[in-house]
Structure 1
Amino acid sequence: MKNTIPAVEKAMATLVLLASARNGASQAALQQGTATTASTAYRILQTFLKHDWVRKRQDGHYELSHGLLPLLLAFRQRLEHFDHAQGILDRLASENDIACKLSIRQDNEQLTLLRAEPDAPIALTGRSGSRFPLIEGTVGAALLSREDDERIAELIHDCPTAIAEKEQPELVFNAVRDIRRRGYAVNIRKNRWNIAAMSAPVSNADGAVIAALTIIGLEADFQGKKRQALARCLLHAAAECRDSVALT
């Protein structure tokens, strides 16, 4: 983790911010969001402009540009795998009358990539593209289940958000141990959203965790035999996603 190049890290962070900005971003906003100096932010943007990875609009805001398309086309097949995974989520939500989502890790955050809701008037999952601290909830435990405990402790220590897992690291370690032991972890309302969730890791052929599959509901959804049935469905769906989201 100490062998990275700070300038490259700042450039990557700039692209991530631009990707998440719905209406572009000013140089000042990018500078603040990446904690760079004005001159560094300017040089990063000028480099991206040169290669058409970023364009400057008439209002002075920056946004991603067409120069990135060759990179995106290289991932077309993988996006098709995610389309298949969406079908798995849709079926999981419909058959169990419960919300679910697929999350991936981006640096020290978890990103909601896909979601599915049952046919109900109230939705419990956050929108696709939502970001949360990596260590938070059962999603975090699933994404971190193959990390060693020392690295998990570092991530807890470095988390900038005041969440329960930051104040009570045992919440993270207990959930990670549950996943290592039985393949999934359950959180019954011990979170800032006051909802219940069950997560399982999605691994690739080498055993590396590439995503977390989560079902989300109320406390009553995870009691007794219903909890056991949901766990079986979750683990089966995670295995299906493993075959669909082949990110190797």
Structure 2
Amino acid sequence: MPPTDSVNRPVKTTEYSIRILEALKSNPGQSLTDLTEEFDIARSTIHRHLLTLEAHDLIARDGDGTFSLGLRLLDFGRRSREYVEFFDVARHHVDRLAETTGEKVWLIAKEGDHSVHLYKAHGDNPLETSAQVGQRRNLHQLAAGKSILAFLPEDELDAILDRRGLEEQTDSTITSEDVLRDELDEIRERGYAFNIGESVTGLNAIGAPIRDEDGYPVGAISISGPAHRVKDSFLTEELPDTLLAALDEIQISLRYGTNS
């Protein structure tokens, strides 16, 4: 959750509700006692928040009296995804890319300092990872995320790196800003990024941005698979050509309102 000092006058009651939702997302089935101990907030305060969230179906009470996220949140997430301008066009290309390459393909959106996994499709033999629809990730850890960083205005790139740093996900994650900036220059020149075990050990990926009419990177598509299969010319030649061709079609559809 973003630090509260990013808001001049945060509303504490709203923050408490958000913290409860975040806690139940990470660890469903928590009791009133569990949440009271975790947040060091008065039991009566936590109880009122739980009752309010339950009354609006944002959380649900399980049979043993513990709480979990409510399915109403699924409707919020589904509707928010539909508001992403490129989602409907791009997801059809994601399906095609998965069928063509046989690998897992992700569509992501940029939101603030993060990427958000919007949609996935997979081929015949995908490598399963912990990545899930709706998940938020640091941009520098992903091929798709690095492709977004490469095309951001310099001042926004500086601000994101200053706020988020370069958290290590695997031994291969780039944690040096100088190294990252050098790689972003290369990505900007060729139009796509690689991820060689930087988010998941043994997973390789390629990603390229979806850009609006002004060239701003609003999202990206990545193709990923196990390193023993996604390598050599398949990774460095075949997949880039296939991915960039799909992105060209997406850009045309978005700009001229055509259906591919």
Q: What is the TM-score with the length of structure 2 in the denominator? A: 0.67
**Aligned partner of residue 7 in structure 2, secondary structure:** coil
Letter aligned with residue 12 of structure 1: I
CA distance in 2, matches of 1:171, 1:164: 12
Residues 206 and 235, structure 2, Cα contact 8 Å, conserved in 1: no
The structure-2 alpha-carbon separation of the partners of 1:54 and 1:238, relative to structure 1 and needing over 3 Å to count, comes to same
Deviations along 1:192-245, one digit per CA (max 9) or x if unpaired, are: 51222111122345654333311113377453486233213212333555657x
Match of 1:128 among 124, 129, 132: 132
Q: Where do residues 130-169 of structure 1 align in structure 2 (5 Å cutoff)?
A: 132-145=137-150, 146=152, 148-157=156-165, 159=167, 164-165=172-173, 167-169=175-177
Partner of 1:15: 21
**Aligned partner of residue 197 in structure 1, secondary structure:** strand
The structure-2 alpha-carbon separation of the partners of 1:6 and 1:166, relative to structure 1 and needing over 3 Å to count, comes to farther
The structure-2 alpha-carbon separation of the partners of 1:95 and 1:2, relative to structure 1 and needing over 3 Å to count, comes to same
Residues 125 and 216, structure 1, Cα contact 8 Å, conserved in 2: no
Partner of 2:99: 94
The structure-2 alpha-carbon separation of the partners of 1:182 and 1:75, relative to structure 1 and needing over 3 Å to count, comes to same
Q: Which has the larger radius of gyration?
A: 2
The structure-2 alpha-carbon separation of the partners of 1:209 and 1:43, relative to structure 1 and needing over 3 Å to count, comes to farther
Task: Give % identity.
Answer: 24
Deviations along 1:43-73, one digit per CA (max 9) or x if unpaired, are: 5434423434323233222234466587568
CA distance in 1, matches of 2:112, 2:19: 10
Letter aligned with residue 57 of structure 1: D
Partner of 2:64: 59
Q: What is the TM-score with the length of structure 1 in the denominator? A: 0.69
Residues 200 and 235, structure 1, Cα contact 8 Å, conserved in 2: yes
The structure-2 alpha-carbon separation of the partners of 1:151 and 1:81, relative to structure 1 and needing over 3 Å to count, comes to closer
Partner of 1:229: 238
Residues 89 and 116, structure 1, Cα contact 8 Å, conserved in 2: yes
Letter aligned with residue 139 of structure 1: A
Letter aligned with residue 180 of structure 1: R
Q: How many residues align?
A: 241
Residues 115 and 139, structure 2, Cα contact 8 Å, conserved in 1: yes
Deviations along 1:83-133, one digit per CA (max 9) or x if unpaired, are: 65443222112223333222345666544332222223x525555335544
When the two chains are superposed, the root-mean-square deviation of aligned CA atoms in Å is: 4.2
Match of 2:191 among 183, 192, 212: 183
CA distance in 2, matches of 1:144, 1:238: 17
**Aligned partner of residue 60 in structure 1, secondary structure:** coil
Match of 1:38 among 38, 41, 58: 41
Letter aligned with residue 61 of structure 1: T
Residues 82 and 88, structure 2, Cα contact 8 Å, conserved in 1: no
CA distance in 2, matches of 1:239, 1:202: 9
CA distance in 2, matches of 1:26, 1:241: 47
Worse-matched range after superposition: 86-95 or 201-210? 201-210
The structure-2 alpha-carbon separation of the partners of 1:93 and 1:112, relative to structure 1 and needing over 3 Å to count, comes to same
CA distance in 1, matches of 2:237, 2:131: 27
CA distance in 2, matches of 1:224, 1:76: 34
Structure 2 gap segments, 5+ residues each: none
